[in-house]
Amino acid sequence: MVANKNYLHSDLTEKIIKAAIKVHSHLGPGFVEKIYQRALEIELKNNQIGVEREKILKLSYSGVNIGTDKVDFEVDRKVLVELKAVTELSDIHKAQLISYLKASKHRIGLLINFAQQKLQVKRVIV
């Protein structure tokens, strides 16, 4: 996969995707999301990539705190990563990541699905 230098944090997203491909190649489809999450965290750390697993996002409305949610990873404080192990990615999965991006003030995220024979990756930019 050749990096497209026309979007934000392209080098970092390519490193994340390569790490996810390595995890998927080793484990294959069929596990629950948590297994892929743990394996990807190990792979990212092995590649000296800063990662925070299950990053807490503070949610507010009209300047008032209304709760929290969590995204699977915040990578190098630049990219959010949401993992799935589902039959097919849907619009609701993309909407979830968009909401996380808006809540975190980040502009780019990766939606990665491990449940297929071929790893599914979607870049989301807001």
pLDDT in tens, 9-20: 999 999 999 999
- Spatial distance between the Cα atoms of 31 and 36, rounded to a whole number of angstroms: 7
Q: Is 108 helix (H, G, I), strand (E, B) or coil?
A: strand
Instruction: Yes or no: say if 120 and 113 are a contact pair by the CB < 8 Å rule.
Output: yes
Question: Is residue 92 in some structural domain?
Answer: yes
Give the domain range for residue 58.
10-125
Count of domains in the chain? 1
Question: Is residue 1 in some structural domain?
Answer: no
Can you give the CATH number for the domain in which 30 is found?
A: 3.90.320.10
Structure tokens at 20: 């996810």
The whole-model pTM stands at: 0.91
Question: Is residue 16 in some structural domain?
Answer: yes
Sign of CA dihedral 99, 105, 107, 113: negative
> Which residue is listed with tokens 């990807």?
40
- Residue type present at position 105: K
Predicted confidence (pLDDT) per residue in 43-97, tens digit: 999 999 999 999 999 999 999 999 999 999 999 999 999 999 999 999 999 999 9
